[in-house]
């Protein structure tokens, strides 16, 4: 009870003090604004009022010193209890305000004067300074306005604007006056005006002498500086005789601004100037310059470059572009949201810099293009890249720097500990304060903590997804929110030591780079819907469309991957869901046109932040809409009502969230808003100004469009433009193509499945046509995964008319590396190809390449002799389809081409693709596409130059075979098949074993049990080696005598011609 009372009292006292201070400030303002009072009168009034704002007014006295005069309260005397603030109307001290207690007063924790009181006196001094400046300027302004009013008609010489400025400067700032005089005289001399040279003499320089004497090797004489005011008068008299008013005015304005930029220049130029100092001068500069800008002068360029180098990037390409698009004032926002350690020399990191640049480019462009005016960037705070050093040092964690040179498995074992370690670290006090300030600025809106490292700046190296980005619900008390934020930052920092990022860097020879991790803390774009927080839509957009679904779409028409909710599902391929694809250049051409397909390939899930549970969640769209659909504003822009015969774009009023079958189509957004046009313009401007195709991330809360990220469109190794070899003999080339080419390389193809167009067309039984599809499905299952290509006539997967192309479903082709459609000319027309549309989105999400061939075009090579005459192994692998051997040809390339394999190089820039025989790349490459199985460890396009993945698998299989008790388990034979057998195993591969079994049910169960132990153990080993986790590494296939006799299921692998099962030695 007592405690509470006293704390209440304390509060009350506090409030009283604040009220007193405010009251004092009001009165001060009132006096200062009283135009009738002269300055001395004002000061006299002020000293009377000021003491009332202090804690102990009875013993409080005030004094104002200005212009060699002193004004003070009666009874004022110097005292040890004193506080002073300077009056600086134009950055220069012209006087001071002093407050003293003439006798000792009670000293609080904060000292004799409260913190608020110190602030109060500074505020009063500032306001006095402001008033003084105003009093100076007013008469000048009056004169100026007067002259302006008379200028046009009266025929009288107007008092030019520049004269007003010179007058003002001569009254307020003598060093500035000297500066502009010098500049003007130099300018006049340079313009060849003789009189000016004489004035130059007044400055103490005589250029004539100087040059006549030539260069001397003793110091030149020092001349006294003449009377500044008279020099000034002389100078400007000459100027007005020779130059137009307008010209003088412009020169003056620029020089004055340059002068103001000097502290900035000085600071930026100094090597040891810390971020803090630069931030300070920029801030001061921003106040003094206001809206005007000197960016377009050489000095402006110099400054922008210097600042860019300090804060954004040292890469020349980047700086060069920055110089053209960034102004000094653009930095104001960054520096006012910067968190940095004491003595920092850090930057905001690659991701931050890329976004900043894009933002400035778009802002400049929006002057001519109103559609860009609504493009926003979410509020962002930046932590400089060197904060992590401070952080490590503070926690004595410098040893982590050697982490990257450790053995890979060590790194992996360490990583979970490092995350915990980092999360439990203390942050230096300074950063905690800054973060707390940032949190006050953000409020309790959800946040995303994104990495923004120096390496993420490298053009070409797609470093995306290697470092973490974490969403925070940012709910709860301030302390909880702050802790969660620091936790997240620690975790993002930890990702610097993640095995994946280290591996990635080591593969690209970036390991020795002094990597530093900056952080961006960004407001998450969106709205609250029920317990969730989500943007209405989000996505990524690419300048170049590498996945075109119609021949009418050009590569530069671009591609948007669009989802409802957080953009995470658009950025990554999620495997079990589909984003909506749109090409901004051809928004009317959609991938899916029939209602059922529209529904099948529409997004089913969305990512949200659950504000109540403080977590990031993936939820079903249908469930969200049912419950909260009516609360989502503009939801009619993104959903349509589905019926089997119609997909209806609804009016907002039309939707029955309970009953209607709703699908996400974005039809309203695409057709009824300027969204597509906006993206199209953004893309084309960024591409033009940055000089490279870009990919951007964006999100919208339904009203505004936010840019979240911008970087050069990444070239992963399999989508980089490939070199097209020119020196091949015709026999080595299998085909060439020159239409609808995208970028990429498909390597190490060991088998071609060729469905001969003529043979296929010649089949006259419907059943046989269907059989071709079946056979392809079986081959898809039997041939080495991602090491074969399918080539066939017309439209793969056509429903309806089977004549158009081989009837397959996606599961019949999902293991192919590429789907190739051949359009042979028929009498006088060339059939249209499908572009894989029947399962286009499946192809995109699993990275199966598509290529259309037009063999009858001019200058096209189509090696029909090779495709039709090389031995086919169809009959050996699929005897039951042997009768189709004229239609389906399966070519084992290494077996028939002296160990060579097929390589397809595709170059969209040249619009050319070539398939040719080449030596195996030596990369026992597998392309990993099943994202569901391989979460984040390796990118789909990685390639590995060693055979470590299959070798140890093979070794382990041998060990298992050696230890397997044949008799006990009823085993007759033990084989290795699949990727371990053919040497293509990658980090996530299973070990496929085939067991010839002839025992009883009991033995069968025991055997599986025994193998299960191995499987779990191997999976754990593999995880440590590669980061791929699985439930087990062994994929056991059991075959019986009967299977072998009938050659059913996997039994066909035993003694097969292509990729046969390899028997291992068993324990006898």
* Residues near another protein (CB under 8 A): 549-552, 576, 586, 588-591, 593-595, 599-600, 643-648, 661, 761-770, 794-795, 799-804, 810-811, 814, 831-832, 834-835, 837, 932
Those residues with Cβ within 8 angstroms of residue 780's Cβ, 6 or more apart along the chain or in another chain: 790, 811, 812, 813, 814, 815, 816
Shortest reach from residue 914's CB to another protein, in Å: 27
CB 353 within 8 A of CB 313: yes
Closer residue to another protein (CB): 455 or 823: 823
In the bound state with another protein, the residue whose beta carbon lies nearer, of 367 and 645, is: 645
Q: What is the DSSP letter of 1040?
A: -
At its nearest, how many Å lie between another protein and the CB of residue 840?
A: 9
Strand-pairing partners, residue 697, are 540, 709
Is residue 614 within 8 A of residue 634, CB to CB? The reply is: no
Query: Whole-angstrom Cα distance, residue 680 to residue 583?
Result: 9
Q: Give the number of C-alpha atoms closer than 13 A to the C-alpha of residue 944, restricted to the C-beta side.
A: 21
> Which is nearer to another protein, 644 or 1013 (by Cβ)?
644
| Closest distance of CB 447 from another protein, Å | 34
Angle in degrees, 0-180, between the axes of helices 298-311 and 275-289, rounded to the nearest 10 = 140
Closest contact distance (angstroms) between CB of 588 and another protein is 3
CA-to-CA distance for 850 and 834, rounded, in angstroms?
Answer: 10
677 backbone dihedrals φ, ψ, rounded to 5° = -60, -40
The whole-angstrom separation of Cα 579 and Cα 567 is 10
For residues 782, 787, 790, 791, the Cα torsion angle rounded to the nearest 10 degrees is: -140
Q: Which of 316, 349, 318, 319 lies closest to 334 in space, CA to CA?
A: 349
Q: How far is the CB of 771 from another protein (least distance, A)?
A: 9
Cβ 460 to another protein shortest distance, Å? 34
Main-chain phi, psi angles of 963, to 5 degrees: -90, -10
Cα angle: 1016, vertex 1018, 1024; to 5 degrees? 110
Q: Please state the three-class secondary structure of 443-478 as a single string.
A: CCCCEEEEEEECHHHCCCCCCCCCCCEEEECCCCCH
Q: How far is the CB of 807 from another protein (least distance, A)?
A: 9
113 vs 578, which CB is nearer to another protein? Answer: 578
Hey, which residues does 851 pair with through a beta bridge?
820
**Least spacing, CB of residue 878 vs another protein, in Å:** 13
CB closer to another protein out of 300 and 757: 757
Q: How far is the CB of 587 from another protein (least distance, A)?
A: 8
Helix axes 161-172, 228-242, angle to 10 degrees: 170
Smallest gap from Cβ 786 to another protein, in A, equals 15
CB of residue 966 vs another protein: minimum separation in angstroms? 29
Long-range Cβ pairs for the range 910-913 (8 Å, 24+)? 910/721, 910/724, 910/741, 911/738, 911/739, 911/741, 912/724, 912/736, 912/737, 912/738, 912/741, 913/724, 913/736, 913/737, 913/738, 913/741, 913/851
Cα(665)–Cα(647) distance, integer angstroms: 9
CB of 806 to another protein, least distance (A): 13
Q: Work out the burial of residue 374: count CB atoms within 10 Å of its CB; fewer than 13 is exposed, 13-18 middle, 19 or more buried.
A: middle
> Is the CB of 84 or the CB of 770 nearer to another protein?
770
Which of 354, 757 has the CB closer to another protein? 757
Residue (107 or 671) nearer to another protein, CB: 671
Instruction: To the nearest 10°, report the CA torsion of 311, 317, 319, 320.
Output: -170
Query: Which CB sits closer to another protein, 361 or 679?
Result: 679
What is the spatial distance between Cα 159 and Cα 143, in angstroms, rounded to a whole number? 8
**Nearest distance in Å: CB 805, another protein:** 9
CB of 833 to another protein, least distance (A): 9
Q: In this complex, which beta carbon is closest to another protein, that of residue 11 or of residue 766?
A: 766
Give the residue with the Cβ less far from another protein, 810 or 1023. Answer: 810
168 or 888: CB nearest another protein: 888
- Min dist CB 306 to another protein, Å, is 48
**C-beta of 550: minimal distance to another protein in Å?**
5
* DSSP H/E element including 799: none
Nearest-CA neighbor of 495 among 419, 444, 551? Answer: 419
For residues 90 and 133, the answer to whether their CB atoms sit within 8 Å is: yes
When the beta carbons of 410 and 654 are compared against another protein, the nearer one is 654
What is the distance, to the nearest Å, from the Cα of residue 31 to the centroid of all Cα atoms in its chain?
53
| 264-271 contact pairs (CB < 8 A, 24+) | 264/303, 264/328, 265/299, 265/302, 265/303, 265/306, 268/303, 268/306, 268/307, 268/310, 269/306
Comparison of 814 and 1058: residue with beta carbon closer to another protein: 814
Q: Which is nearer to another protein, 627 or 768 (CB)?
A: 768
Minimum separation from the CB atom of position 420 to another protein (A) = 33
Q: How far apart are the first and last CA of the chain?
A: 87
Nearer to another protein, 22 or 830 (CB): 830
Whose CA is closest to 103, among 70, 122, 75?
75
Give whichever of 75 and 800 is closer to another protein, judged by the CB atom: 800
Between 615 and 932, CB nearer to another protein: 932
Quote the radius of gyration of the chain (alpha carbons, Å).
Answer: 38
**Which one, of 329, 310, 324, 323, lies nearest residue 260 by Cα?**
329
Pairing of β 447-453 and β 849-853: unpaired
Structure tokens at 1007: 């055997």
Q: How far is the CB of 837 from another protein (least distance, A)?
A: 5
Rounded Cα–Cα distance for residues 47 and 37 (Å) = 14
């Amino acid at each position: 009870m007592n405690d509470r009372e006293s704390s209440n009292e304390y509060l009350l006292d506090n409030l009283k003090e604040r009220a007193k201070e405010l009251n004092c400030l009001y009165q001060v303002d009132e006096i200062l604004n009283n135009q009738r009072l002269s300055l001395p009168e004002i000061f006299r009034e002020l000293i009377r009022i000021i003491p009332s704002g202090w804690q102990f007014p009875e013993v409080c006295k005030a004094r104002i010193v200005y212009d060699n005069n002193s004004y003070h309260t009666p009874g004022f005397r110097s005292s040890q209890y004193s506080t002073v603030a300077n009056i600086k109307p134009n950055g220069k001290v012209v006087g001071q305000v002093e407050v003293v207690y003439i006798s000792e007063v009670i000293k609080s924790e904060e000292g004799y004067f409260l913190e608020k009181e110190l602030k109060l006196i500074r505020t009063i001094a500032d306001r006095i300074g402001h008033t003084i400046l105003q009093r100076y300027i007013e008469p000048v302004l009056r004169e100026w306005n007067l002259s302006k009013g008379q200028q046009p008609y009266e025929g009288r010489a107007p008092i030019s604007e520049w004269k007003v400025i010179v007058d003002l400067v001569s009254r307020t700032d003598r060093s500035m006056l000297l500066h502009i005089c010098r500049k003007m005289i130099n300018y006049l001399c340079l313009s060849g005006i003789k009189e000016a040279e004489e004035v130059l003499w007044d400055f103490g320089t005589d250029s004539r002498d100087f040059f006549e004497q030539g260069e001397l090797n003793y110091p030149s004489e020092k001349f006294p500086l003449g009377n500044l005011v008279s020099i000034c008068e002389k100078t400007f008299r000459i100027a007005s005789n020779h130059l137009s008013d307008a010209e003088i005015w412009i020169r003056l304005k620029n020089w004055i601004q340059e002068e103001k930029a000097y502290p900035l220049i000085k600071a930026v130029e100094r090597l040891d100037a810390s971020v803090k100092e630069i931030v300070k001068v920029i801030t001061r500069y921003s106040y003094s310059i206001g809206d005007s800008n000197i960016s377009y002068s050489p000095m402006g360029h110099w400054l922008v470059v210097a600042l860019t180098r300090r804060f954004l990037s040292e890469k020349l390409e980047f700086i060069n572009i920055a110089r053209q698009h960034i102004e000094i004032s653009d930095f104001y926002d960054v520096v006012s949201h910067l968190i940095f350690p004491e003595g920092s020399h850090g930057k905001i990191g690659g991701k931050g810099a890329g976004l900043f640049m894009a933002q400035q480019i778009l802002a400049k462009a929006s002057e001519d293009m109103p559609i860009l005016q609504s493009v926003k960037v979410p509020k962002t705070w930046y932590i400089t890249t060197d904060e992590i050093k401070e952080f490590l040092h503070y926690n004595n964690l410098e040893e982590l720097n050697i982490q990257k040179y450790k053995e890979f498995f060590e790194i992996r074992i360490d990583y979970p500990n490092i995350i915990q370690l980092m999360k439990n670290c203390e942050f230096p006090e300074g950063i905690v304060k800054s973060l707390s300030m940032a949190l006050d600025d953000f409020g309790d809106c959800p946040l995303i903590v994104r990495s923004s490292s120096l390496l993420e700046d490298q053009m070409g190296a797609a470093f995306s997804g290697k470092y973490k980005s974490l969403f925070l619900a940012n709910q709860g008390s301030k302390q909880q929110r702050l802790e969660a934020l620091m936790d997240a930052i620690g975790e993002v920092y930890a990702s610097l030591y993640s095995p994946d990022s280290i591996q990635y860097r080591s593969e690209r020879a970036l390991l020795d780079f002094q990597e530093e991790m900056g952080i961006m803390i960004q407001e998450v774009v969106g709205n609250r819907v029920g317990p969730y927080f989500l943007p209405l839509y989000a996505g990524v957009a690419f300048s170049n469309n590498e996945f075109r679904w119609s021949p009418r779409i050009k590569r530069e028409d671009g591609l948007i991957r669009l989802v409802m909710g957080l953009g995470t599902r658009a950025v990554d391929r999620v495997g079990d869901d589909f984003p909506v694809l749109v090409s901004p250049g051809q928004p009317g051409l959609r991938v899916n046109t029939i209602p059922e397909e529209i529904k099948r390939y529409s997004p089913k899930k969305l990512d949200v932040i659950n504000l109540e549970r403080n977590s990031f969640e993936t939820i079903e769209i249908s469930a969200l809409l049912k419950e909260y659909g009516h609360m989502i504003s503009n939801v009619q822009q993104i959903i349509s009502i589905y019926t089997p015969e119609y997909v209806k774009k609804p009016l907002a009023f039309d939707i029955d969230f309970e009953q209607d079958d709703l699908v996400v189509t974005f039809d309203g957004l695409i057709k009824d808003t300027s969204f597509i046009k906006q993206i199209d313009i953004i893309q084309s401007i960024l591409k033009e100004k940055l000089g490279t195709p870009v990919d951007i991330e964006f999100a919208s809360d339904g009203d505004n469009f936010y840019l979240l990220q911008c970087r050069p469109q990444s070239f992963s190794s399999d989508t980089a433009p490939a070199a097209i070899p020119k020196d091949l003999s015709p026999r080595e080339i299998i085909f060439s193509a020159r239409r609808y080419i995208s970028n990429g390389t498909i390597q190490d193809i060991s088998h071609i499945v060729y469905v001969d167009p003529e043979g296929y067309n010649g089949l006259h039984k419907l059943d046989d046509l269907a059989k071709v599809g079946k056979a392809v499905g079986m081959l898809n299952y039997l041939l080495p995964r991602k090491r074969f290509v399918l080539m066939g006539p017309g439209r793969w997967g056509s429903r309806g008319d089977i004549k158009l192309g081989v009837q397959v479903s996606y599961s019949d082709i999902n293991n192919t590396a590429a789907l190739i459609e051949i359009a042979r000319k028929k009498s006088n027309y060339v059939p249209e190809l499908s572009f894989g549309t029947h399962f286009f989105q499946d192809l995109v999400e699993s990275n199966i390449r598509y290529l259309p061939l037009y063999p009858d075009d001019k200058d096209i090579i189509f090696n029909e002799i090779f495709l039709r005459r090389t031995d086919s192994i169809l009959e050996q692998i699929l005897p039951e389809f042997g009768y189709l051997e004229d239609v389906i040809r399966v070519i084992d390339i290494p077996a028939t081409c002296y160990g060579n394999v097929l390589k397809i190089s595709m170059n969209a820039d040249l619009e050319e693709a070539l398939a040719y025989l080449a030596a195996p790349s030596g990369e026992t490459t597998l392309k990993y596409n099943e994202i569901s199985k391989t979460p984040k460890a390796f990118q789909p396009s990685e390639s590995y130059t060693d055979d470590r993945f299959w070798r140890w698998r093979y070794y382990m299989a041998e060990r298992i075979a050696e230890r397997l008790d044949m008799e006990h388990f009823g085993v007759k034979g033990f084989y290795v098949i699949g990727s371990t057998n053919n040497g293509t195993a990658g980090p996530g591969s299973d070990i496929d074993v085939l067991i010839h079994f002839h025992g009883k049910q009991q033995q069968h169960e025991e055997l599986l049990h025994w193998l299960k132990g191995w499987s779990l153990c191997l999976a754990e080993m593999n995880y440590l080696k590669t980061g791929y986790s699985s439930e087990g590494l062994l994929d056991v296939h059991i075959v019986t005598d009967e299977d072998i006799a009938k050659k059913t299921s996997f039994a066909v692998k035993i003694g097969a011609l292509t990729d046969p099962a390899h028997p291992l030695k068993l324990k006898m």
